[in-house]
Amino acid sequence: MSESEYMTYARSGVSIDAGERMVERIAGAVASTHGPRVINLENGFAGFFRLDYDEKLFKKNYKNPVLVACSDGVGTKIKIGHMAGRLDTVGIDLVAMNVNDMIVHGAEPLFFLDYLAVNKLEPEGVAQMVEGVAAGCRQANCALIGGETAEMPDIYRRGEFDMAGFAVGVVEKGRIINGANMQKGDVILGLASSGLHSNGYTLARDICFNKAGLKVNDTVDELDGAVLGDVLLEPTRIYVKPIVKLLAQYKVKKVVRAMAHITGGGLVGNIPRVLPKECNAVINKSSWTVPGVFSFLQKAGPVEENEMFRVFNMGIGYVLIVAPDFAGSIAKKLKRYGETVYKIGTITTGIGKVVLK
């Protein structure tokens, strides 16, 4: 039998050689997220992370440490990246969607793992995505200690892929934030988003590419002449550093009652997740400037305002509910940390829902 008659993994659609080239390409990006708490085992089968690297500091901050874990993806935003030939930003999104969820409960991210499934392994494209994940991890002060890239030509069509991320963090048990001490009169602060973040893209794509007939590289007058793909691919803002820094200043006083990452469902869908049943969140829609991308989508659809607030973040990517006496000082601190902060509402007695005014 000639060599050409033998079956191989590569001829069946999976290239081990391409996988090895990809691993070599991303090694530097992955290592850039590692600090002294990461234990590197050459050719290991798992990632290792030391909780006790600085034992005195760890014991000072954590008497009863609780591990916190979450998993998320970036949805159909990856289709925009593929259309535009830019895959690095979706890696940042992947980290953001996980770590922004985690810090809601007062946790500090420790490490991150990623999973990428593709039709065909293209080392350059995969490397872009992983480099984006590494960039997100650096923003979030967490280590990328493991991952998996699966080439599955029988599952995904040509050019298709999907991503998932997994984050693990730690919080002191007595400082878990869950909204339990929320009360009438508490102030709702909103932190500005960078754009759509990673939610609502099925509707956004339908409006832009089907209804409006635009191409990903078109410039859009209603978006101040920006390239559509650039606007849609703007990475999700990562709020880890300012929130962790803020919470470190209020370890005794529980002045941050609750927080919410504004993802799919918008303000009306995410804030109720942290509201006690006897409280409502009254949001003043005129208290912040809605970014142009949302106005463009609403008009081009057209989309009713209630639906916009139910699908998109509308310019508010993260919410803090704080004690009224501390609202001003907390807002000043967050602005000092680089955030754009708005007072967007208050807590009233109610039934655990959001009221838009």
* CA proximity to 101, closest of 199, 26, 3: 199
**Whether 40 and 81 share a structural domain:** yes
CATH classification of the domain holding 163? 3.30.1330.10
Range(s) of the domain holding residue 195: 187-356
Domain end among 149, 175, 201 = 175
Q: Is the pLDDT of residue 72 over 80?
A: yes
Q: Is the pLDDT of residue 57 over 80?
A: no
Quote the pLDDT of residue 16.
58
- The number of folded domains in the chain is 2
Quote the pLDDT of residue 25.
64
Q: Where are the beta strands (DSSP E) in the chain?
A: 38-39, 48-49, 65-72, 108-118, 143-151, 161-172, 187-192, 219-220, 226-227, 256-261, 279-283, 316-322, 341-349, 354-356
Quote the pLDDT of residue 40.
86
Quote the pLDDT of residue 19.
59
User: Tell me: the pLDDT tens digits for 285-344?
Assistant: 999 999 999 999 999 999 999 999 999 999 999 999 999 999 999 999 999 999 999 999
**Segment 154-159 mean pLDDT:** 83
Q: How confident is the model at residue 10 (pLDDT cuts 50, 70, 90)?
A: low
**Whether 108 and 150 share a structural domain:** yes
Quote the pLDDT of residue 56.
73
**Residue 181 belongs to some domain of the structure:** no
User: Tell me: the pLDDT tens digits for 178-207?
Assistant: 999 999 999 999 999 999 999 999 999 999
**Whether 248 and 330 share a structural domain:** yes
Quote the pLDDT of residue 51.
84
**Residue 88 belongs to some domain of the structure:** yes
Quote the pLDDT of residue 8.
55
**Residue 260 belongs to some domain of the structure:** yes
User: Tell me: the pLDDT tens digits for 86-103?
Assistant: 888 999 999 999 999 999
Quote the pLDDT of residue 34.
92
**Whether 241 and 133 share a structural domain:** no
Question: How far is it, in rounded angstroms, from Cα 348 to Cα 345?
Answer: 10
Contact 80, 205 (CB under 8 A): yes
CATH classification of the domain holding 209? 3.90.650.10
**Whether 352 and 278 share a structural domain:** yes
Domain end among 121, 140, 175 = 175
Q: How confident is the model at residue 120 (pLDDT cuts 50, 70, 90)?
A: confident
Domain end among 140, 155, 175 = 175
**Whether 18 and 166 share a structural domain:** yes
Quote the pLDDT of residue 343.
98
Q: Is the pLDDT of residue 12 over 60?
A: no
Contact 262, 193 (CB under 8 A): yes
CA distances from 219 to 46, 134, 216, 302 (A): 45, 30, 9, 20
Quote the pLDDT of residue 11.
55
**Whether 199 and 293 share a structural domain:** yes
**Residue 247 belongs to some domain of the structure:** yes
